[in-house]
Amino acid sequence: MSGKQTIIGEALPNIPWQDKPADCKNDVIWRYDANPVIPRNLIPCANAIFNSAVVPFEGGFAGVFRVDDRSRHMDLHAGRSKDGINFEIDNETIKFQCDDPEIANSIERYDPRVCLVDGKYYVTWCNNYNGYTIGVGYTEDFKTFHQLENAFLPYNRNGVLFPRKINGEFVMLSRPSDTGHTPFGDIFLSRSKDMTYWGKHRFLFGSRRGGVMSWECTKVGPGPTPIETTEGWLMIYHGVLTSCNGFIYSMGGAILDIDEPWKVKYRCKPYLLAPQRDYECVGDTPNVCFPCAALTDAPSGKIAIYYGAADTVTGLAFAQVDELIAYIKENAE
Ligand code: BMA
């Protein structure tokens, strides 16, 4: 399909939004001018609040937030917001209800995503079950949370669900990893009929390697829930470069086939947003922009992206779907 591309989905007239500033000519994603929207110390226990997921809920917004507490323990907290900009986050961690005490016994939880599929808000996160893997749970009210089986064997991170079944199956992106700060990483897709058994694994794409420097030459991982559009699934992801001072995390974009989403139609060569503001460059982990959630308003094509900044605070950024898709296509390689 050619011409103007649009989002296939619901209207969200109260999406948090700022128009693109006039001096932002070279950028296709622009930042909220009062970032960060969530400071590191919003709740008493917190050392940092970042890499978190926000969804529309009951006329406002709700979410699951990564809070590292002051012992630097990583866990998940529920929260809510009327406007998507000012948040209330519970000081207590989420206590998942789970039929199997062995599965409930995870010792760390981090980097949540939330995805509404068939009326349930599924939560996926990086779950320490004898090594990091993808934890899965759901909630219907952001008060009671139920935990399901882990999706994969360790080691895996960044489990991201698609917002509807495709050919009758749930679909999840993930990034197999190792025990540490993984120095590699490619994105795969898996499918499940029941949210318990995952298989039919397919390769999407990997880091851009081959001795050539790029913003994503070390590893890549999925970000927010993919956005359904008239051009295919719009996928925002993170890519990592290893500099002489460590990892640098930026955002990139790709478009996936609508029916066979492991088939990549376009992958943008330049980054879409890179750590360049103080709050992205200075913090517990310098130089990190880590997108985990996106809100969309289908009629206007507005996209609002939540991202962790420097593993310390949460930022908000904006894009217009037609402009973003055109940029990805023009700069695809
Ligand atoms: C990854 C995860 C993320 C973090 C990123 C940058 O491995 O731990 O939570 O944002 O590193 O430190």
Question: In this predicted model, what pLDDT tens digit does every residue of 116-158 receive, in sequence order?
Answer: 999 999 999 999 999 999 999 999 999 999 999 999 999 999 9
Three-state secondary structure of 152-165 = CCCCEEEEEECCCC
- Tell me the pLDDT tens digit for each residue of 151-176: 999 999 999 999 999 999 999 999 99
Ligand 1, atom 11: nearest CA belongs to which residue? Answer: 181
Residues with CB under 6 A from ligand 1: 51, 110-111, 181, 249, 285, 288, 290, 308, 311
**What is the C-alpha separation between 289 and 236, in angstroms, rounded?**
12
- Torsion sign over Cα 69, 75, 80, 84: positive
Where b means 16+ CB within 10 Å and e means fewer, 72-103 reads eebbbbbbbbeebbebebbeeebebebeeeeb
Closest atom of ligand 1 relative to the 311 alpha carbon: 10
Average pLDDT over residues 179-203: 96
**289-297/313-320 β-pairing:** unpaired
Ligand 1, atom 7: closest residue by C-alpha: 181
How far is it, in rounded angstroms, from Cα 327 to Cα 333?
Answer: 12
Ligand 1, atom 1, residue with closest C-alpha: 181
Token couple for 201: 């694994």
Residue ranges per structural domain of the chain:
40-330
pLDDT at residue 1, rounded to an integer: 45
pTM of the model: 0.97
Kindly report the CATH number that applies to the domain delimited by 40-330. Answer: 2.115.10.20
